[in-house]
Each structure stands twice: as structure tokens, then as C-alpha cells.
């Protein structure tokens, strides 16, 4: 089969089980692991938050990921078609499929802006990094990057172009090939940085910050955040794993693949913490720096370190790689749905979706400004979130998508596969290709009871109803 066929007649397919695992690990491992997880761990006081997060991954995230991959592989369709095939034509179950596609659209629009910061910081590091700058200058650099609309727009454009370029290449020669190159690189770079962090004075302090639970530091919102993030980091709740599963051959073992992907994702997130916090603590900085943690605290540390410019370049390039393989997955969901549902070919579909997402991301790129997307939107949303709690465009959509749309999307998938799908098709979808057929009942029980109850409880808790 020539790759050209992929865009015309034949649906793409991974070259092997490892092709799927690497592409999915690329999808899962992203800014969520390296930028977001460390800073929300810092904000939520470490230990206990991490523990709840691990629980969410194992008991809620993993079963849902399996449900998604199963649905994709069994139907060989992206989310909308997958929901349709497993219920019936005209079924309202296509609605969560479409909501998933919309969620991917929204997330990519602001994800690209953060990836743009990573590109900018890679560029700065290459030019000699932050050496010679003091803490004040470095933190004002971040502030001025965020409030510089033109700069953000430029990098947002560059990153979206890169993403589009890969997705146009198709499943095997675009998505899979880039993951095969970037993921091993990312692992190596992270290990090198871990080696560096382990030699620093702050390592043991960082280790106990990340691993010893302290109940006094966790809030109601923190529990929701742990759940929301477990969806975000595993790329669940919007059909990304349905889509990636749909490119899988029927003979592959999805049970073990899903376990490997989740473990890789979790290990990388924990290692990212063990890279960042020792460096942060060694230089006497606060773990609670928020979204600026990797863009402010870390560069400050790098500026004081021997060879700091090199380490900074390695770190920010790693962040770009992680972001790219994830962004690809979000665009792929939208594109693949358009291809399946309308028969538009891959190239025009990718250009169209890429352009639409790019446009929707422009206000995110401008969210640090005084204009409509920034201060203006804060005033508007203060009506919903409360006085002084207003969020700019970027924060509003991040909050909406990762804390609400993803858990709700995940809940829908779980309920759909657990209750609506036929037993025979579901069992076949699970058992095909795996040696772990005896786990079927345990998985179904989790999906039927623990997953829905857990997700609903956390959402009600966040709404202060329980
Ligand atoms: N998991 C990625 C990260 O951690 C982000 C991501 C990629 C994602 N695809 C997704 C999140 C689909 C939700 C849904 O950065």
C-alpha cells in the first residue's frame, strides 16, 4: 500500500503495535506532563495531590482509555462514527462524539499558545539563555511574553503550521513517524536532566514534597483538578484514543498497550517533577509559582547554573517535542472526523481544520493584553466566576475544557461502552488479540460502577453539592 492511498481511499493504519504505543505515548505525554503537572502539584501542596492523581489514573483513567481504544479499534472510526456504529444510525449518542471533537478543537487552540511560549524560550535559550539576567529580569520576561500579543501570535502561527504539516502526512508517515523520532529523544533528554537534578542539593526535599502526603494542603478544587488532570494527561474524554485505536489492527493486544501507555505517561509526569523541584528548591524558590513555574523559576535556576544555557535549550526543546506530538493528536481527531463524515480528503481537511483552530486560538494568544480577550473577557466572565475571579479567554477555555468537558466526555464514553454497547461486541472488542481475557469482568465492573460514581462525585463535590 502506498501512503498516497491513505488520503484517498484507504484508512490509515499504524505499522505495528509499537507504532501505536509510541504515537499514543506521544499523544498522552505533553505540556500536561511537563508544564502543567509540576505546577499544579506545586500549587496543591505536593504529596496528597499526587496520590489522588495516581488513584484517578489507575482506577478511572485506565479503564476509560481501554474503553476508548476498544471502541476505536472495533469500529475503525473516529469518535462520531464510532459512537454511531456501536449504537445505531440516528442515535443521539453521536452527540458526545461531536462534543469530543469540539473539545479537541478548543484545547488545541490554546495549547498551541503555550507551545508557542516553549518555542520562544527554546529560541531565547539558543541565543545564550538567561545567563547574566537576574531573577527580576527573568520574571519580567515571562510577563512581557504573555502580554506581547504580536509575539504570541507569531509563535502560535509557527506551532500550528508545524502541527498541520505533520498531520497532512497522514497516520503512518506523519503522526507515527514523528513520534518514533521525538519520543525516544524526549526520554533521553529527560533522563539526562534527571541526572542533573539528582546531583543538586534540593533533591531529597523535592522527593519528599512530591511523595509525602499532607492533608492540610489539599482543597475541594484540588481534588477536581487531580481528576480533570488525569483525563487531560491521558488524553481522555474527547475521542483522541478512539481515533488512535481506529488505526490499529484487530490482532493487536490493546489491554497491555493501554497499560504501557498509562505507565509511560505517569512516569514522565513524576520524573518531570523530580527534575523541576530539586532545581527550584536548590535555588531557594517557591513550588507555588503557578503557570510560570517552568517559564520563570526554572530559567532563574538555569541562569545561575554552570552550562545553564545548554540545559535550558535541552529542557525547552523537550517541551516543544512533547507539545507537538500531543497537538498532532488533537488535530488528528478533528481531521479524521471530517474525513470520515464528509469524504473531504486529508490535505484540504487538515488545512481547513488547522485554519479554523488557528483563528479560534488568536484570542488565546492575545489573552495577556488589555484588549477584548484579556482584561475585557475577565470583566465579562466575572459575572459567572464571581467578582475578582474573572478569567481571560485562555483561562476560561482551559478551565471549561479540562475541568468539565473532558471528565463529562469520559463519563459519556464509560457509560456508553458499559451500558449501551452490546455485550457480545464489547467482549469481542476486549478479548481480540489479548492474553489478558480474564481481566474483562474486572474492567467492566470498574467501568460500570467506580468510573461513573467517581466522576460524578468529584463533579458534585466541585459544585459544592456534596
Ligand atoms: N495529554 C496531552 C498532555 O498531557 C494533551 C492532549 C493531547 C490531550 N491530546 C489530548 C488532552 C486529548 C485531552 C484530550 O499535554
Q: Is the CB of 374 under 6 A from ligand 1?
A: no
pLDDT digits (tens, 9 = 90+) for 436-464: 999 999 999 999 999 999 999 878 877 87
- Is 5 among the domain residues? no
The CATH code of the domain that includes 153 is 1.10.4160
The confidence score (pLDDT) of residue 20 equals: 97
- Is 76 among the domain residues? yes
Ligand 1 atom with least separation from CA of 329 = 9
Q: Is the CB of 444 under 6 A from ligand 1?
A: no
The confidence score (pLDDT) of residue 279 equals: 87
Pocket test for ligand 1, best of 37, 56, 107, 236 (most atoms within 8 A of CB): 107
What separation in Å is there between the alpha carbon of 205 and the centre of ligand 1? Answer: 30
Per the structure, the count of domains in the chain is: 1
- Is 394 among the domain residues? yes
Contacts of 385 (CB under 8 A, 6+ apart): 391
Pocket test for ligand 1, best of 32, 268, 332 (most atoms within 8 A of CB): 32
The confidence score (pLDDT) of residue 8 equals: 42
The pTM of this model reads: 0.93
Q: Whose CA is nearest to atom 10 of ligand 1?
A: 235
Ligand 1 atom with least separation from CA of 27 = 7
Which CA distances in Å does 333 have to 9, 77, 104, 311, 415? Answer: 18, 10, 7, 34, 21
Q: Whose CA is nearest to atom 8 of ligand 1?
A: 235
Q: Which parts of the chain sit beneath pLDDT 50? A: 1-9
- Is 4 among the domain residues? no
Phi, psi dihedrals of residue 202, rounded to the nearest 5°:
-80, 0
Q: Whose CA is nearest to atom 6 of ligand 1?
A: 235
Cα 336-340-343 angle, rounded to 5 deg: 110
Closest to 330 (Cα-Cα) out of 417, 400, 242: 242
Residue 362 structural domain: 10-462
Kindly state the DSSP code that residue 436 receives in the 8-state scheme: -
Q: Is the CB of 232 under 6 A from ligand 1?
A: yes
Residue pair 35/43 in contact (Cβ under 8 Å)? The answer is: no
Q: Is the CB of 239 under 6 A from ligand 1?
A: no
- Is 1 among the domain residues? no
Residue pair 322/34 in contact (Cβ under 8 Å)? The answer is: yes
The confidence score (pLDDT) of residue 300 equals: 86
Q: Is the CB of 336 under 6 A from ligand 1?
A: no
Q: Is the dihedral of CA 160, 165, 168, 169 positive or negative?
A: negative
The confidence score (pLDDT) of residue 351 equals: 98
Look at phi and psi of residue 396 and say left if phi exceeds 0, alpha if psi is from -120 to 50, else beta. alpha
The confidence score (pLDDT) of residue 84 equals: 95
The confidence score (pLDDT) of residue 191 equals: 94
What separation in Å is there between the alpha carbon of 134 and the centre of ligand 1? Answer: 34
Distance, C-alpha 209 to centroid of its chain: 24
Phi, psi dihedrals of residue 450, rounded to the nearest 5°:
-65, -45
Amino acid at each position: 500500500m502506498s501512503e498516497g492511498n491513505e488520503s484517498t481511499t484507504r484508512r490509515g493504519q499504524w505499522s505495528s503495535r509499537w507504532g501505536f504505543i509510541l504515537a499514543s505515548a506521544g499523544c498522552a505525554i505533553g505540556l500536561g506532563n511537563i508544564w502543567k503537572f509540576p505546577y499544579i502539584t506545586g500549587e496543591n501542596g505536593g504529596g496528597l495531590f499526587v496520590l489522588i492523581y495516581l488513584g484517578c489514573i489507575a482506577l478511572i483513567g485506565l479503564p476509560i482509555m481501554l474503553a476508548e481504544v476498544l471502541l476505536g479499534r472495533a469500529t475503525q472510526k473516529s469518535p462520531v462514527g464510532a459512537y454511531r456504529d456501536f449504537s445505531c444510525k440516528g442515535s443521539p449518542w453521536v452527540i458526545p462524539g461531536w462534543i469530543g471533537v469540539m473539545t479537541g478543537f478548543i484545547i488545541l487552540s490554546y495549547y498551541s499558545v503555550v507551545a508557542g511560549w516553549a518555542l520562544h524560550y527554546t529560541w531565547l535559550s539558543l541565543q545564550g539563555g538567561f545567563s547574566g539576567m537576574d531573577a527580576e529580569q527573568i520574571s519580567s520576561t515571562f510577563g512581557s511574553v504573555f502580554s506581547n500579543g504580536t509575539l504570541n501570535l507569531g509563535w502560535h502561527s509557527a506551532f500550528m503550521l508545524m502541527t498541520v504539516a505533520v498531520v497532512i502526512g497522514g497516520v503512518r508517515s506523519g503522526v507515527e513517524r514523528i513520534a518514533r523520532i521525538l519520543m525516544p529523544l524526549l526520554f533521553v533528554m529527560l533522563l539526562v536532566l534527571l541526572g542533573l537534578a539528582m546531583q543538586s542539593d534540593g533533591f531529597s526535599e523535592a522527593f519528599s514534597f512530591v511523595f509525602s502526603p499532607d492533608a492540610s494542603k489539599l482543597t475541594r478544587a484540588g481534588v477536581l483538578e487531580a481528576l480533570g488532570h488525569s483525563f487531560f494527561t491521558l488524553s481522555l474524554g474527547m475521542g483522541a484514543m478512539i481515533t488512535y485505536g481506529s488505526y490499529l489492527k484487530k490482532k493487536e493486544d490493546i489491554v497491555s498497550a493501554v497499560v504501557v501507555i498509562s505507565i509511560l505517561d505517569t512516569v514522565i509526569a513524576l520524573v518531570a517533577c523530580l527534575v523541576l523541584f530539586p532545581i527550584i528548591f536548590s535555588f531557594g524558590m517557591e513550588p507555588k509559582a503557578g503557570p510560570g513555574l517552568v517559564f520563570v523559576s526554572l530559567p532563574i535556576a538555569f541562569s545561575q547554573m554552570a552550562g545553564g544555557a545548554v540545559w535550558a535549550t535541552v529542557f525547552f526543546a523537550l517541551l516543544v517535542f512533547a507539545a507537538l506530538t500531543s497537538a498532532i493528536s488533537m488535530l488528528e481527531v478533528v481531521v479524521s472526523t471530517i474525513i470520515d463524515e464528509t469524504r473531504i480528503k486529508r490535505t484540504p481537511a487538515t488545512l481547513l481544520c488547522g485554519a479554523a483552530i488557528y483563528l479560534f486560538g488568536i484570542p488565546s494568544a492575545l489573552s495577556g493584553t488589555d484588549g477584548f480577550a484579556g482584561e475585557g473577557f475577565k470583566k465579562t466572565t466575572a459575572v459567572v466566576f464571581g467578582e475578582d475571579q474573572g478569567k481571560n479567554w485562555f483561562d476560561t477555555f482551559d478551565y471549561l475544557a479540562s475541568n468539565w468537558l473532558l471528565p463529562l466526555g469520559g463519563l459519556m464514553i464509560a457509560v456508553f461502552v458499559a451500558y449501551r454497547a452490546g455485550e457480545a461486541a464489547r467482549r469481542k472488542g476486549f478479548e481480540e488479540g489479548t492474553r489478558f481475557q480474564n481481566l474483562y469482568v474486572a474492567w467492566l465492573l470498574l467501568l460500570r460502577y467506580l468510573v461513573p460514581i467517581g466522576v460524578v462525585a468529584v463533579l458534585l463535590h466541585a459544585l459544592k453539592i456534596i
